[in-house]
Each structure stands twice: as structure tokens, then as C-alpha cells.
Amino acid sequence: MSKKNRIRNGKLLPMSQKKNDVSTQTDQAEKKMDPLPFKENIAESHDKIKSILSSWKRVEIKTDETDYIHAVVSSRIFKFKDDVEFLFDDQTNLVHFRSASRSGMYDFGVNRKRMKEVSDQYREEK
């Protein structure tokens, strides 16, 4: 699915009714996470996120644009696929993200844990 199909009105796709996704752009409290502030600028923020994703196993970056990254993460054993997206908002200087399982109703907190890890690594260093 292209960026055009994954962004609506300048936002990432809304959350499903399932309990297997998280986002910075949702009103659902149990799925809400905080966006990340830009580093120096959009380019540095983009490069940092891409570097984090590239350092992980079982991650394939599908779309890499100045203001958007879409990656697919496969689970180790069963090869379940999760979509991980980042939207770099140059107007607010924030990195918004969404992480969602493609299948199943529950993810046992995997997407939240993953995005917390991304957030922690992003904040660690310049």
C-alpha cells in the first residue's frame, strides 16, 4: 500500500477496534502514545528513525520519503507481519507514528513495546 493510501488528511490511518495497535494520533487512551520531537530538523529526525529501523532484524523498509517511512516487521517464530509507520510533521516539528498488527485481535503489547523501544532509542542520542 502506498503512502497515498496510508495517509488521510495529513494523518496516519485511524486505529482499528482490535487491541493490536498503537498510535500518536488517536483519541483511544489505551492505544495512545506520545509523538517524538524533531531532532535539529526533519532530515535528522528521519535519518535517526531510519537508522533505528535498519539496525533491527526482520524489518523491511517499504516506503522511504522525506516526510514518511513505512516498514514491515516480521515476528521471529510465526512470521506475523506488523506495519510500522512514521509521519514527520514539519509544521509541528513532531514525529507521529503508528504500529499495527495485520492479523489477530491481540498482540500481547508487542506494538506498544516496540514503539517504546523506538522512542527510547530515538531520545538516547543525537
3-state secondary structure of 7: strand
Give the model confidence (pLDDT) of 70-115 as tens digits.
999 998 888 899 999 999 999 999 999 999 999 877 788 899 999 9
- Mean pLDDT value across residues 51-77: 95
Q: What is the CATH number of the domain that holds 82?
A: 3.30.310.80
98 neighbors 22 (Cβ within 8 angstroms): yes
Q: How many domains does the chain have?
A: 1
Q: Which domain holds residue 60?
A: 22-124
CB 83 within 8 A of CB 100: yes
CA-based torsion, 53, 113, 3, 58: positive or negative: positive
The Cα–Cα gap between 13 and 85 comes to 10
